[in-house]
Chain A
Amino acid sequence: MLRIWVLAATWLVATIAIGLSAGLAVGRPWLGLCLALSLHLAWQLTRLYRLDHWLRHRGFMDPPVLRGVWDDVVTQIARIHRRKRHHKQRLATVLRELRESTNAMPDGVVALNAHGEIAWFNRMAAQLLHLQGRRDIGIRISNLVRQPAFARHLEGGDGTAPLTLQVSAQPETWLSLHVLPYGEGRRLLLIRDVTRQTRLETMRKDFVANASHELRSPLTVISGYLEMLATDPTLDAAHAQPLAEMRRQADRMAAIIGDLLVLSRLEAKDEQPEGEPVDVGAMLALLRKDVLARPQHPALVTLAIETQDQLKGDELELNSALANLVDNAAKYTPADGHIGIRWWSDAEGAHCSVTDTGPGIPSSAIPRLTERFYRVDAGRSRATGGSGLGLAIVKHVLQRHGGRLEIASTEGRGSTFTCHFPPERVLAAERRA
């Protein structure tokens, strides 16, 4: 096909030629030219008018037959339009499929823009958070999900840990909300219904707490009678040995139950304890004395207090955590061994480490060490009379104080347990003064 403008120019030249020659024939060339051009222009204008009318009113349906160059223009326009419509349809299909697939997702998804306003959400999110169709697009999510905990989570939103909360509209439903940052300031909110898990978890916690509590009273009775029997002078000497063993086991059982109760109490309180300043240095000094007061203790117990900083936290909990670490070290270190306790602080926060020269822990066991009742080898903890819950308690206490436990160990040479506390928990000595 020739270019449209070439065609149009040819038509124009032809018109001029016809007009001129017709004019020359009657002896009035200019009049002929004028007439021919006027006719040409009038014809073109009517075409233009019809094209304009078609573009405006017919919505690209049934293109008009305009003849000449105008037909080419119409074909071009129609083709461009067809191509565009095709693209649009393809995009719409992709979009629809995307929407349908996100609607099929079992989790709720809400996309938030930089202002925390709802940009888009899927069907599950609407169901879980009671969002209403298009109406809620553009509303700040915190205006609709008004729980104070959620607002704090959204603001502090580095999107690390999901938040579990109850939605007011359905009091029996527990949702887990997870904020994930993406793009520039945008965030994605993932919502999952965790009612079942939460209920099971509550049942488990309640069961452990209740069972330990119920076991304690009968055990107290048994221990009481055992103690009475052990001091009874009329009793046959042959029974002394088994009685002593029974008492030992009863004590151990009491220790396990006590630790279970401590753990379930730690789990029940999910908020971090508010900061009462605790003098960790003094606490460690006392713990060291306790170790030295034992009938059998390692020869060398050193204490290095390198900072006067205090820690904001719950004194009882911190004490039980540190006591567990020191106690473990004392149990596993032979009489000629060495225990080193250190308390220091730096830019990353405060730290407390307990190093021993005990048998060490195989590296494969380290990740599982804080599990309840986990034993490195079956004989070890029973021989030393531990409850198997000590390190679980340490882990929980540290979590509640925003800290973490680091374990390093070489088999045959000893282990180091380090507690790291974040800087916001540290109360510097100079600020205290």
Chain B
Amino acid sequence: METTDLSPHISSRFNDDLEAVRASLLRMGGLVEAQLKKCLATLSEADSVLAAEVVRDDEQVNRMEVEIDEACLRILATRAPAAGDLRLIVAIIKAITDLERVGDEARKIAHISLRLATLERPADRYREVRHLGRLVEDMVHEALDAFARMDAEAALRVPQLDRQVDEEYESIQRQCVTFMMEDPRQVRRMLDITWAARALERVGDHAKNIAEYVIYMVHGQDVRHTRPEEVELRLRGRGGARES
């Protein structure tokens, strides 16, 4: 079930359709990844050209969401897929929503970065936020890689990364509050930094969702709202039962 080839179908056209829609999803993912990278660069380099690109890319991401949605519906309506194929389509429909949200968050970060750019930049160029950004970027990348490979093992690692992201976000928040209390003139900037960190944390959540869809797609198990350890236990248990 973990193989990437989508089981032989009587109609190879069907297979092609499924492959095509998965490829478009990953293509959209690539665009969102690039967007995320650009918006983080906007933060550290205060580059308004990059910020404009993030906004422009977001329009394309939105367009792709609609297109992929339509393609999925067409497959559902005309081919009536079952089992693994159905799960793939459902996972794609869900994943595009999350990707589109990631795009929106990236756009938000680009806006905040431009606003921050008008203020004097601190010497560390927002190191904490950049670190958080790097973590989140990794999460999105891993989740999409897992999607491309139908790799549930790799998908399991993503929720674990999400914990790290949450901790990092907490610490940025605490730090900002401390700064605000020390120097009220910094409140505006600190609020913006908190917003940027918050947006990144949300991106991490979306990446986690995508990873969960991968697990659903491969194992047919809904693992939402479950602690990572439990998920692992459940899947391991299944694997063990199958072996014996």
Contacts of A88-122 to chain B: CB distance below 8 A: 115
Query: Do residues A139 and B149 form an inter-chain contact, with CB atoms below 8 A?
Result: yes
- In the bound assembly, the distance between CA atoms of A368 and B119 in angstroms comes to 48
Check B141 against A169 for contact (C-beta < 8 Å): yes
Query: Which residues in window 138-181 of B have CB below 8 A to A?
Result: 138, 141, 144-145, 148-149, 151
A10 contacts B by Cβ under 8 Å? no
Assess the B149–A135 pair: CB atoms within 8 A. yes
Instruction: A140 to B30: give the CA distance in the assembly, Å.
Output: 14
Q: Is A68 an interface residue (CB 8 A)?
A: no
Q: Write the chain B residue with the least CB distance to A132.
A: B149
Q: A171 CA to B33 CA in the complex, in Å?
A: 12
Q: A132, A146, A171: which contacts B26 (Cβ < 8 A)?
A: A146
The answer, yes or no, to whether A327 is at the interface (CB within 8 Å) is no
Q: A168-B137, A171-B134 are in contact. Are A148 and B149 (CB under 8 A)?
A: no
- Whether A147 pairs with B30 at a CB distance below 8 angstroms is yes
The residues of B that contact A136 with a CB separation of less than 8 Å are: 149
- Find out whether the CB atom of A144 lies under 8 angstroms from the CB atom of B148: yes
Q: Return the contact of B145 from the options A144, A148, A150, A166 (Cβ within 8 A).
A: A144
**Which parts of A235-269 form the interface with B (CB within 8 Å)?**
none
Q: Give the Cβ gap from B139 to chain A, nearest Cβ, in Å.
A: 11
Whether the pair A142, B134 counts as a contact (CB closer than 8 A) is no
Select A142's contact among B27, B141, B145, beta carbons within 8 Å: B27
Interface centre among B37, B137, B138, B149 (most CB of A within 10 A): B149
CA distance A147 to B26 in the complex (A): 10
**Interchain CA distance A136-B141 in the complex, whole Å:** 16
Report whether A143 and B148 are in contact in the complex, using a CB–CB cutoff of 8 Å.
yes
What is the distance, in angstroms, from A214's C-beta to the closest C-beta of chain B? Answer: 21
In the complex, which residues of chain B have a beta carbon less than 8 angstroms from the beta carbon of A135? 4, 149, 151
Does A283 belong to the interface (CB within 8 Å)? Answer: no
Q: A146 contacts B4, CB within 8 Å?
A: no
Cα distance A168–B145 in the bound complex, in angstroms:
11
- What is the CA–CA distance of A115 and B134 in the complex, to the nearest angstrom? 33
Contact of B183 with A by CB under 8 A: no
Q: Is B67 an interface residue (CB 8 A)?
A: no
Which interface class (under 10, 10 to 19, 20 to 34, 35 or more) fits A? 20 to 34
Known contacts A135-B149, A135-B151; A140/B19 CB under 8 A: yes
Taking the complex as formed, is A151 at the interface, i.e. its CB lies under 8 A from any CB of chain B? yes
Which residues of B sit under 8 angstroms from A150, Cβ to Cβ? 30
Nearest CB to that of A165 among chain B residues? B34
Asked if B19 and A148 make an inter-chain contact with CB atoms under 8 angstroms apart, the answer reads no
Is A412's beta carbon under 8 Å from chain B? no
Instruction: State the CA gap A132–B145 with chains docked (Å).
Output: 11
Interface residue? A138 (CB, 8 A): yes
- Closest CB in chain A relative to B40 CB, distance in Å: 10
**B120 sits at the interface (CB 8 A):** no
A169 contact set on B, CB distance < 8 A: 138, 141
Residues in chain A near residue B66, CB distance under 8 A = none
User: A97 → chain B, closest Cβ, in Å?
Assistant: 29
A130 and B138 alpha carbons, distance in the complex (Å): 13
A171 to B34, CA, bound (A): 12
A143 cross-chain contacts in B, Cβ below 8 A: 22-23, 26, 148
Among A132, A151, A168, point to the contact of B27 (Cβ < 8 A). A151
Identify which of residues 133-183 in chain A touch chain B, using a CB-to-CB cut-off of 8 Å: 135-136, 138-140, 142-144, 146-148, 150-151, 166, 168-169, 171
Which A residues are CB-close (under 8 A) to B103?
A: none
Select one of B19, B30, B138 contacting A151, CB under 8 A: B30
Known: A151-B30, A168-B137. A146 touches B149 (CB 8 A): no
Which B residue sits closest to A151, measured CB to CB?
B27
Q: Is the CB of B33 within 8 A of A146?
A: yes
CA distance A151 to B134 in the complex (A): 23
Smallest Cβ distance from A69 to chain B, in angstroms? Answer: 45
In the assembly, what is the distance between CA of A142 and CA of B27, in Å? 7
Among A115, A132, A168, the residue within 8 A (CB) of B33 is A168
- Which residues of A in the span 316-354 have a Cβ within 8 Å of any Cβ on B? none
Contact A139 B137 (CB under 8 A): no
Q: Is B5 an interface residue (CB 8 A)?
A: yes
User: Are B149 and A147 touching (Cβ within 8 A)?
Assistant: no
Which residues in window 19-73 of B have CB below 8 A to A? 19, 22-23, 26-27, 29-31, 33-34, 37
Q: How far is the CA of A323 from the CA of B4 in the complex (A)?
A: 58
Within 8 A of A (CB), among B99-153: 134, 137-138, 141, 144-145, 148-149, 151
Most buried by B among A138, A143, A151: A143
Residue among B31, B34, B137 with most chain A CB within 10 A: B34
Q: Give the residues in chain B near A147, CB-CB below 8 Å.
A: 30, 33-34
In the complex, A140→B20 CA distance in Å? 10
Set of chain A residues within 8 Å of B34, measured between Cβ atoms: 147-148
Residue ID in chain B nearest A145 by CB atoms: B30
**CA–CA, A115 and B148, complex, Å:** 15
Contacts of B26 in A (CB 8 A): 142-143, 146
Task: Given A136-B149, A168-B137, answer yes or no on A146-B19 (Cβ-Cβ < 8 Å).
Answer: no
Given contacts A168-B37, A169-B141, contact A146 B29 (CB under 8 A): yes
Interface residues of A (CB under 8 A from B): 115, 130, 132, 135-136, 138-140, 142-144, 146-148, 150-151, 166, 168-169, 171
9 closest A-B pairs by beta carbon, nearest first, are A146-B30, A143-B148, A143-B26, A168-B141, A148-B31, A144-B148, A139-B4, A148-B30, A148-B34
A/B interface sample: 14 pairs, CB < 8 A? A135-B149, A135-B151, A138-B4, A142-B26, A143-B148, A146-B27, A146-B29, A146-B30, A146-B144, A148-B34, A168-B37, A168-B137, A169-B141, A171-B37
A142-B23, A144-B145 given. 14 additional CB < 8 A pairs? A130-B145, A135-B149, A135-B151, A138-B4, A139-B149, A140-B23, A142-B27, A143-B26, A144-B148, A146-B26, A146-B33, A147-B30, A166-B37, A168-B141
Residues of B within 8 A of A (CB): 4-5, 19, 22-23, 26-27, 29-31, 33-34, 37, 134, 137-138, 141, 144-145, 148-149, 151
